[in-house]
């Protein structure tokens, strides 16, 4: 990441991302070590309506045509909210919608494990993170790494859930800015050819990473073996973080159509927009259970931009960390269940007008789990 400090950065980063990345030469944020939370602590502040979550934060927003002057250090502290003459962003309430909290935390743990570089240990399920309580009993079926594309996934079976799990790694923290810089070269959209997908277009880069690498063929074969072993009545979960989240969307559709799976579910963390509005609608109709987590001011869910024709898949759950001196970790994780549009203006979009979200730190942590490879001696190893 030191390459960010080079004077060539302004030229290397394409125009549509420059605003999101912040000032030229800005040093990247420190990536925190893992924070552990008890279930009760994590569930504090689970809100089911816009009014409840915004009032809990005291959070007020400028009108939609203005850019809130937030910065990551103060944007979620009570003393730094905007003046009271601005209207609190309330609307599109989803009071009757809840999300599977324990399931989501377990899937976040599975996704965190995908970042472990010790693939032999992961394959044997004896890596350090493999010892977490949330993932006990899991049996690995296969691991797939494509060095040309630097993509990785692992596939296995969780008997307690009677479920297949496919975990697709996102961009490693070491390569994060390489990926950001390459984003523009992949900007063209690729048509989707499934029945009923007329007009659907997806980001060509994500399609290439899934379809042109070793992931599609080998992941499909691994899931097919699990189906042969355990039957077609098993649920298949596809989980991903960052660009792995976008690939999870594509993988879920591929597995559902090509293996005729009846119950495919998707959970992603900090994923970018995968395709256009028609793709979002098609995905929502095809994949009945889908949760897309965002976190505070994570930079990646703002990309690619809506004005370029992209649209998020529903349903979003926005994680907001509130300072809390009574908590052992110093924060309270809250979760806002957003509306079914994919672009709820009162969730992550509300804090990210005009590419104002720039946090890498928020991108690397979800539900208390690190979404990156252990990089320093202070990090919990894999």
Residue 327: CATH number of its domain: 3.40.50.1820
Q: Kindly state the average pLDDT of the residues 72-100.
A: 37
Q: What is the pLDDT of residue 116?
A: 93
Residues in the chain: 382
Q: What is the pLDDT of residue 250?
A: 97
Query: Are 343 and 319 within 8 A, CB to CB?
Result: no
- Is the residue at 4 inside a domain? no
- Is the residue at 186 inside a domain? yes
Q: What is the pLDDT of residue 19?
A: 30
pLDDT(201) > 70: yes
Total-model pTM? 0.76
pLDDT(123) > 50: yes
Q: Which two tokens stand for residue 238?
A: 């596809």
**135-162 pLDDT per residue, tens:** 999 999 999 999 998 899 999 999 999 9
**288-304 pLDDT per residue, tens:** 999 999 999 999 999 88
What SS3 class is residue 241? Answer: strand
What is the number of other CB atoms lying within 10 angstroms of the CB of residue 204? 15
- Is the residue at 30 inside a domain? no
- Provide the sign of the torsion angle of the four alpha carbons 45, 47, 53, 56, taken in this order: negative
pLDDT(205) > 70: yes
Q: What is the pLDDT of residue 253?
A: 98
Q: Kindly state the average pLDDT of the residues 213-232.
A: 97
List the single range of 12-21, 190-199, 207-216, 271-280 with lowest mean pLDDT. Answer: 12-21
Q: Which two tokens stand for residue 239?
A: 């989980």
Cα dihedral 214, 215, 220, 223 in deg (nearest 10): 130
Beta bridge partners of 333: 321
- Is the residue at 366 inside a domain? yes
What is the number of other CB atoms lying within 10 angstroms of the CB of residue 255? 22
Q: 175: pLDDT confidence band, cut at 50, 70 and 90?
A: low
Q: Which two tokens stand for residue 24?
A: 């030229």
Place of tokens 């297949």: 164
- Is the residue at 22 inside a domain? no
**346-381 pLDDT per residue, tens:** 899 988 876 678 898 999 999 999 999 864 445 555
Pairing verdict, β 139-146 and 365-366: unpaired
Q: 279: pLDDT confidence band, cut at 50, 70 and 90?
A: very high
| Overall domain count for the chain | 1
- Is the residue at 267 inside a domain? yes
What is the number of other CB atoms lying within 10 angstroms of the CB of residue 165? 26
Percent of the chain with pLDDT over 70: 68
Q: 185: pLDDT confidence band, cut at 50, 70 and 90?
A: low
**304-324 pLDDT per residue, tens:** 888 888 999 999 999 998 888
Diameter of the chain by CA atoms? 61
Q: Kindly state the average pLDDT of the residues 48-60.
A: 42
Q: What is the pLDDT of residue 187?
A: 59
Q: What is the pLDDT of residue 381?
A: 58
Domain carrying residue 169: 37-57+89-370
- Is the residue at 266 inside a domain? yes
- Is the residue at 124 inside a domain? yes
pLDDT(10) > 50: no
Beta bridge partners of 46: 335
Which is more confident, 56 or 355?
355
Which stretches of 130-253 are assigned E, i.e. beta strand? 139-146, 151-158, 163-168, 189-191, 201-203, 235-241
């Amino acid at each position: 990441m030191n390459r960010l400090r080079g004077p060539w950065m302004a030229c290397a980063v394409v125009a549509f991302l420059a605003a999101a990345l912040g000032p030229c030469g800005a040093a990247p944020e420190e990536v925190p070590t893992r924070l552990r939370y008890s279930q009760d602590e994590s569930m504090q502040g689970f809100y089911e309506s816009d009014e409840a979550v915004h009032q809990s934060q005291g959070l007020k927003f400028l009108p939609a045509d203005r850019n809130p002057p937030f910065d990551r250090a103060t944007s979620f502290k009570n003393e730094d909210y905007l003046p009271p003459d601005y209207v609190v962003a309330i609307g599109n309430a989803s009071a009757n919608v809840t999300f599977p909290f324990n399931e989501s935390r377990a899937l976040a743990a599975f996704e965190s494990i995908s970042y472990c570089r010790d693939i032999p240990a992961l394959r044997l399920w004896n890596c350090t993170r493999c010892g977490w309580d949330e993932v006990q009993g899991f049996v690995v079926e296969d691991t797939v790494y494509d060095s040309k594309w630097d993509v990785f996934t692992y596939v296995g079976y969780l008997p307690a859930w009677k479920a297949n799990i496919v975990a697709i790694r996102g961009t490693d923290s070491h390569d994060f800015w390489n990926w950001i810089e390459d984003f523009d070269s992949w900007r063209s959209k690729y048509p989707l050819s499934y029945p009923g997908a007329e007009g659907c277009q997806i980001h060509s880069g994500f399609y290439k990473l899934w379809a042109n690498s070793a992931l599609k063929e080998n992941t499909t074969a691994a899931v097919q073996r699990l189906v042969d072993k355990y039957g077609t009545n098993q649920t298949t979960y596809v989980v991903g973080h960052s660009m792995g989240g976008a690939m999870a969307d594509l993988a879920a559709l591929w597995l559902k159509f090509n293996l005729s799976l009846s119950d495919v579910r998707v959970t992603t963390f900090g994923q970018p927009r995968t395709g256009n509005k028609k793709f979002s609608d098609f995905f929502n109709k095809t994949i009945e259970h889908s949760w897309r987590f965002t976190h505070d001011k994570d930079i990646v869910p703002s990309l690619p931009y809506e004005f370029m024709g992209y649209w998020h898949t529903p349903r979003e759950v926005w994680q907001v960390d509130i300072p809390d001196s009574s908590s052992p970790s110093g924060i309270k994780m809250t979760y806002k269940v957003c509306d079914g549009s994919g672009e709820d203006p009162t969730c992550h979009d509300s804090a990210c007008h005009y590419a104002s979200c720039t946090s890498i730190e928020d991108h690397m942590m979800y539900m208390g789990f690190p979404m990156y490879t252990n990089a320093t001696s202070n990090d919990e190893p894999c």
